[in-house]
């Protein structure tokens, strides 16, 4: 099974989720450092749809730059995330079974 993790190596939760993926037998892990290679707004829309969450639920609300987008329409949130990927709640993990925001990191096990 392939798993793609949108990863920030400076984030402890992201590192924990990556460790879970790497320790799971049969999982081929693709790491996307999303701060260096941000997903497009369209890709984020697809990921959140697969996760069953709205873009506002994927917004890292603790960031000062997120405050103007609380209550904004989905397109504005997605565009902001694509332009400023620090706004993406991390980690985000995608497999053939779905997508999960790894908070807590054990949530990624649901799609393995």
Beta-bridge partner residues of 6: 32, 92
11, 35, 72, 86: the catalytic one is 11
- In angstroms, the Cα distances linking 78 to 14, 29, 99, 101, 112 are 21, 25, 17, 16, 26
Cα gap 9→21, rounded to integer Å: 14
11 is catalytic: yes
Residue found under tokens 């999982």? 27
Cα gap 82→94, rounded to integer Å: 17
Sheet strands side by side (includes 92-95): 28-33, 2-7, 92-95, 98-101
Instruction: Report, as residue numbers or ranges, the catalytic residues.
Output: 11
């Amino acid at each position: 099974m392939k798993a793609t993790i949108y990863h920030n190596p400076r984030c402890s939760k992201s590192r924990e989720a990556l460790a879970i993926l790497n320790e799971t037998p049969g999982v081929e892990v693709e790491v996307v450092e999303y701060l260096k290679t941000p997903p497009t707004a369209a890709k984020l829309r697809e990921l959140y749809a697969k996760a069953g969450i709205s873009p506002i639920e994927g917004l890292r609300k603790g960031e000062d730059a997120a405050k103007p987008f609380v209550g904004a329409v989905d397109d504005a949130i997605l565009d902001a995330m694509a332009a400023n990927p620090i706004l993406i709640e991390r980690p985000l993990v995608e497999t053939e079974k779905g997508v999960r925001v790894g908070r807590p990191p054990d949530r990624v096990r649901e799609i393995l």
